């Protein structure tokens, strides 16, 4: 009897929470798949950052004598039609794909968050109008909106960033607006309002920080699709259009004709796109699970 | 129910209006003279004048818009300046190929995704579940065109198992009647032609269906696990019902709802994915037409196709929502 009482007494008290973010971080660090994702992303970021140091050759200057050589010690991933080193091009391609993908998602996030915050914060007619406009953009499926925007704006990295960013903005706007509408009824918002806090203050200081989590998760997952979409635009001939730039999607188009004789020219850039997308997908899923442990897959 | 349908149909009107305004401005707000910008390097005085009159560029903007919408309501989506043919007529010829491809991809995604999801849900966190999770992660991470070329290389170039280009072998001389390759082959009455058309569809359908496959698998798995934890499932087991009966009658009936919704939502990604898939497999559908139009700088076609894709997407979403409301009465009243 006394033994049982004693065992109740020694039950560990729940560890005091150290705050949402630190808890989430410690859960993330114990999430195996997320760490694999982080590692994959780190490899590509390092490759992109140190491309000039790592790349054995100039990615844009080829030696015609070495045209279409298969993978070897001299050329780890072989050479393309113009005799350019494929490994160096994949490395430099990481710079374009990662920067364009990240900047596009950041732009879409900024744009979407602004629209979503105004709609969710103001409510009423402003909300209705903004959401109808969002619906219009959401009605154009997937990469097609980005295709249309690039067709309209013309070639170039900035154009691709704008196109992919704009095509992602409605999703972020929707997400934030939905969360904000749900939060309006939260007790702490009522409390802040009753204490006389101004609407912008309530929105910025109380509601936005609490609405951030789903946005962060969605933005990480969007990085995966953004990289795929940017490559897709390049593949369709809507890439940067600058022969001095190595871009994964354009590299694939250039090599598609040689699928039979030089499949490695498709394999390596293709694997680069896929593996970086896997990295961001793993990290995004891991973030979702660690920020909200109830949502385990 | 009828009120719900009317409300949803009316709800699509502002979206269509907004789309028509944006796409109308798409051509008019091009820098410089719109006709010259539309024609690009093809601009000749005759063509510029032709575009000017066909778009009514000499009239005030609102008149141009009304003319544009009036045309749309009469099925006039403009004409390609490259071949002079109306967008609507070329669309009708090419659309069956895209429908065929999309249906093939859906059959692949749903036919494989639901069993895989159920299998994974049977022992959550077991090794089958792990393998299915890795497969679906791969499915959403590999770009359609990378998977497409990989399939072409393995099954077309190396193994010679399946054709990798087009919809049907032109040497079979199948007369296009419906422009659905498989239906035309059936109409030709030759088994070899039907087999050939189906063989042509397999690789593109797998490439296009990879993302929906991953998503359908994930949702089925999550939905089945969710329902399996319900009290009525435990009750059913406690009553001593066979595992198969519990699975079919108690779990799957309820797990279907989210799965059907997600399947409907995939149509958008399939339509957009068709652009990439058709380019890889030289498939003569609407998707590859978008790419040709962009290469030719045929902006009227690009504009019209975006509008048509969006209309199809809206219509399918509407049908899915109505179907969902039909299955789940709680939706109708919210």
- Which pLDDT band, with edges at 50, 70 and 90, does B136 fall under? very high
CB contact under 8 A, A144 and B141: no
Q: What is the largest CA-CA distance in chain A?
A: 88
Q: Which residue do the tokens 């929707």 mark?
A: A174
Which positions in chain B touch A257 (Cβ < 8 Å)?
none
pLDDT tens digits for B154-213? 998 889 898 888 888 888 888 888 888 888 888 888 888 889 899 999 999 999 999 999
Q: Which residue has the higher pLDDT, A256 or B116?
A: B116
Q: Which residue has the higher pLDDT, A250 or B27?
A: A250
Per-window interface: B 195-224 vs A, CB < 8 A:
218, 222
> A77 with A90: CB under 8 angstroms?
yes
For chain B, give the percent of residues with pLDDT over 90.
34
**Lowest pLDDT segment from A133-142, B69-78, B252-261, B291-300:** B252-261
Q: Nearest 5°: CA angle at B166, between B163 and B168?
A: 75
Contacts of A153 (CB under 8 A, 6+ apart): A159, A162, A163
Of B19, B145, B279, which is closest to A139 when you measure between CB atoms? B19
Does A109 touch chain B if contact means CB atoms closer than 8 Å? no
CB contact under 8 A, B295 and A136: no
pLDDT value of position A1: 42
B86 forms beta bridges with: B79
Does A129 touch chain B if contact means CB atoms closer than 8 Å? no
Does A232 touch chain B if contact means CB atoms closer than 8 Å? yes
DSSP state of A85: B
pLDDT tens digits for A101-143? 999 999 999 999 999 989 988 878 999 899 989 999 988 888 8
- Which pLDDT band, with edges at 50, 70 and 90, does A20 fall under? low
Claim: this prediction has a pTM higher than 0.90: no
Closest C-alpha among B46, B6, B55 to residue B27: B55
Checking if the pLDDT of A254 tops 50, the result is yes
Centre a 10 Å sphere on the Cβ of residue A40 and count the other Cβ atoms it contains.
19
Backbone angles phi, psi at B320, to 5 degrees: -65, -45
Mutate to test the interface with A, among B21, B41, B145 (most CBs of A within 10 A): B145
pLDDT value of position B333: 58
For chain B, give the percent of residues with pLDDT over 70.
96
Checking if the pLDDT of A11 tops 80, the result is no
> B108 with B206: CB under 8 angstroms?
yes
Residue of B nearest to A260 (CA): B157
Per-window interface: B 23-62 vs A, CB < 8 A:
26, 30
Residues B27-45, mean pLDDT to the nearest whole number? 72
For chain A, give the percent of residues with pLDDT over 70.
91
pLDDT value of position B198: 92
Does B120 touch chain A if contact means CB atoms closer than 8 Å? no
Distances (CA, A) of B101 to A228, B27, B187, B291: 21, 30, 19, 17
Residues B86-101, mean pLDDT to the nearest whole number? 93
The domain spans of chain A are: 20-50+84-295
Does A141 touch chain B if contact means CB atoms closer than 8 Å? yes
> A149 with B29: CB under 8 angstroms?
no
> A100 with A163: CB under 8 angstroms?
no
ipTM greater than cut 0.85: yes
pLDDT value of position B282: 92
CB contact under 8 A, B272 and A256: no
Centre a 10 Å sphere on the Cβ of residue A106 and count the other Cβ atoms it contains.
16
pLDDT value of position B265: 80
Checking if the pLDDT of B27 tops 90, the result is no
CB contact under 8 A, A237 and B299: no
Checking if the pLDDT of A57 tops 90, the result is no
Q: Which of A20-24, B74-78, B135-139 tops mean pLDDT?
A: B135-139
**Shortest Cα–Cα distance, A3 to chain B (Å):** 36
> A119 with A177: CB under 8 angstroms?
yes
pLDDT value of position A109: 95
Q: Which residue do the tokens 């020219």 mark?
A: A265
Checking if the pLDDT of A5 tops 50, the result is no
Q: What is the mean pLDDT of chain A?
A: 85
Does B290 touch chain A if contact means CB atoms closer than 8 Å? yes
pLDDT value of position B31: 66
pLDDT tens digits for A262-297? 888 899 999 999 999 999 999 998 888 887 665 544
Contacts of A202 (CB under 8 A, 6+ apart): A189, A192, A193
Of B18, B149, B310, which is closest to A266 when you measure between CB atoms? B149
Which token pair is B262? 């997600």
3-state secondary structure of A79: strand
pLDDT tens digits for B305-321? 999 999 999 998 888 88
Does B141 touch chain A if contact means CB atoms closer than 8 Å? yes
pLDDT value of position A229: 94
pLDDT value of position B254: 79
Residues B263-272, mean pLDDT to the nearest whole number? 86
> A86 with A77: CB under 8 angstroms?
yes
**Shortest Cα–Cα distance, A48 to chain B (Å):** 20
Which token pair is A1? 């009897």
Closest C-alpha among B150, B92, B159 to residue B281: B150
CATH number for the domain formed by residue range(s) A20-50+84-295: 1.10.3720.10
Q: At what angle do helices B286-295 and B87-122 cross, to 10 degrees?
A: 120
| DSSP secondary structure of B76-123 | ---B-TTT--BHHHHHHHHHHHHHHHHHHHHHHHHHHHHHHHHHHHHS
Of B15, B143, B145, which is closest to A136 when you measure between CB atoms? B15
Per-window interface: A 148-167 vs B, CB < 8 A:
148, 151-152
């Amino acid at each position: 009897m006394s033994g049982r009482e004693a065992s109740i007494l020694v039950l560990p008290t729940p560890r005091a929470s150290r705050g949402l973010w630190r808890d989430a971080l410690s859960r993330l660090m114990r999430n195996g798949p997320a760490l694999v994702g982080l590692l994959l992303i780190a490899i590509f970021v390092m490759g992109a950052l140190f491309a000039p140091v790592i790349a054995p050759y100039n990615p844009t200057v080829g030696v015609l004598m070495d045209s279409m050589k298969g993978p070897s010690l001299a050329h780890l991933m072989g050479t393309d039609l113009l005799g350019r080193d494929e490994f160096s091009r994949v490395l430099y391609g990481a710079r374009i794909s990662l920067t364009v993908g990240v900047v596009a998602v950041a732009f879409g996030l900024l744009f979407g968050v602004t629209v979503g915050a105004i709609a969710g914060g103001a409510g009423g007619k402003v909300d209705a109008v903004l959401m109808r406009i969002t619906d219009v953009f959401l009605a154009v499926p997937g990469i097609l909106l980005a295709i249309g925007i690039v067709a309209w704006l013309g070639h170039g990295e900035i154009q691709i960033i704008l196109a992919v960013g704009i095509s992602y903005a409605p999703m972020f706007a929707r997400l934030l607006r939905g969360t904000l509408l749900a939060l309006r009824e939260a007790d702490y918002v009522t409390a802040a309002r009753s204490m006389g806090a101004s609407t912008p203050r309530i929105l910025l200081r109380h509601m936005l920080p609490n609405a951030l989590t789903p946005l962060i998760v969605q933005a990480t997952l969007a990085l995966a699709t953004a990289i795929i979409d940017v490559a897709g635009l390049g593949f369709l001939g809507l890439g940067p259009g600058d022969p001095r730039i190595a871009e994964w999607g354009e590299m694939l188009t250039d090599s598609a004709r040689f699928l039979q004789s030089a499949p490695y020219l498709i394999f390596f850039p293709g694997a680069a796109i896929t593996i970086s997308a896997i990295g961001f997908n793993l990290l995004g899923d891991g973030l979702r699970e660690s920020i909200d442990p109830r949502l385990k897959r | 129910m009828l009120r719900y349908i009317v409300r949803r149909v009316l709800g699509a009107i502002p979206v269509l209006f907004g789309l028509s305004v944006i796409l109308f401005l798409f051509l008019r707000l091009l820098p410089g003279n719109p006709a010259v910008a539309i024609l690009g390097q093809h601009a000749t005085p005759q063509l510029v004048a032709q575009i000017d009159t066909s778009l009514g560029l000499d009239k005030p903007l609102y008149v141009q818009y009304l003319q544009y919408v009036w045309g749309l309501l009469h099925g006039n989506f403009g004409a390609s300046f490259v071949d002079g043919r109306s967008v609507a007529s070329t669309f009708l010829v090419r659309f069956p190929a895209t429908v065929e491809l999309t249906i093939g991809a859906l059959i692949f995604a749903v036919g494989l995704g639901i069993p895989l999801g159920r299998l994974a849900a049977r022992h959550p966190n077991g090794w089958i579940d792990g393998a299915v999770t890795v497969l679906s992660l791969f499915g959403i991470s590999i770009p359609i065109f990378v998977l497409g070329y990989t399939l072409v290389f393995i099954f077309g170039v190396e193994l010679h198992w399946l054709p990798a280009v087009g919809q049907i072998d032109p040497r079979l001389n199948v007369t296009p009647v419906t422009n659905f390759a498989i239906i035309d082959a059936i109409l030709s009455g030759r088994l070899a032609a039907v087999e050939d058309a189906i063989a042509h569809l397999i690789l593109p359908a797998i490439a296009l269906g990879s993302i929906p496959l991953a998503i359908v698998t994930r949702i089925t798995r999550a939905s089945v696990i969710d329902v399996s934890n319900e009290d009525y499932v435990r009750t059913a087991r406690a009553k001593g019902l066979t595992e198969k009966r519990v699975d079919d009658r108690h779990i799957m009936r309820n797990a279907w709802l989210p799965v059907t919704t997600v399947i409907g939502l995939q149509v958008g990604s399939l339509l957009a994915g068709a652009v990439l898939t058709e380019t890889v497999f030289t498939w003569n559908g609407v998707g590859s037409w978008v790419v040709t139009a962009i290469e030719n700088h045929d902006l009227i076609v690009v504009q019209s196709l975006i509008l048509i894709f969006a209309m199809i997407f809206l219509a399918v979403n509407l049908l899915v929502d109505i179907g969902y409301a039909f299955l789940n009465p709680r939706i109708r009243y919210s």
